[in-house]
Chain A
Amino acid sequence: MPKLSKYEFTWILDALVDDQAVVQSYEKYAKVIRDQGGEVTMHEIWGRKKLAYEITHKTEGTYVFLRMRATPAIVAELNRVLRFDEQVLRTLVVLDEEWEARNLEAAKRAGTRSPEHTATPGV
Chain B
Amino acid sequence: MPAPTKKKKEKKPGRKKPCKFCMDHVEAIDYKDHNRLRKFVTDRGKIAARRITGTCARHQRQLAIAIKRSRHLALLPFVREHYR
- A10 contacts across to B, CB distance below 8 A: 32, 73
A53→B29 contact, CB < 8 A? no
Interface of B is mostly: loop
Interface of A is mostly: mixed
* Chain B residue nearest in CB terms to A111: B25
Tell whether A121 pairs with B27 under 8 Å between CB atoms, given A52-B76, A53-B74, A90-B73.
no
* Chain A residue nearest in CB terms to B66: A99
Q: For residue B74, give the distance in angstroms from its CB to the closest CB of chain A.
A: 4
Most A CB within 10 A of own CB, among B25, B28, B30:
B25
Of A49, A55, A92, A98, which contacts B28 at CB under 8 A? Answer: A98
Binds B, one of A16-24, A31-39, A71-79, A100-108: A100-108
- 13 A-B pairs with C-beta separation under 8 A: A10-B73, A49-B75, A51-B74, A53-B74, A92-B73, A98-B28, A100-B30, A103-B26, A106-B25, A107-B25, A121-B32, A121-B34, A122-B35
Given A12-B74, A99-B30, 14 additional A-B pairs, CB 8 A? A12-B73, A49-B75, A51-B74, A55-B74, A65-B32, A92-B69, A92-B73, A103-B25, A106-B26, A114-B25, A115-B24, A121-B32, A121-B75, A122-B35
B residues with a Cβ closer than 8 A to A are 24-35, 69, 71-79, 81
A residues with a Cβ closer than 8 A to B are 10, 12, 49, 51-53, 55, 61, 63, 65, 90, 92, 94, 97-100, 102-103, 105-107, 109-110, 112, 114-115, 117, 119-122
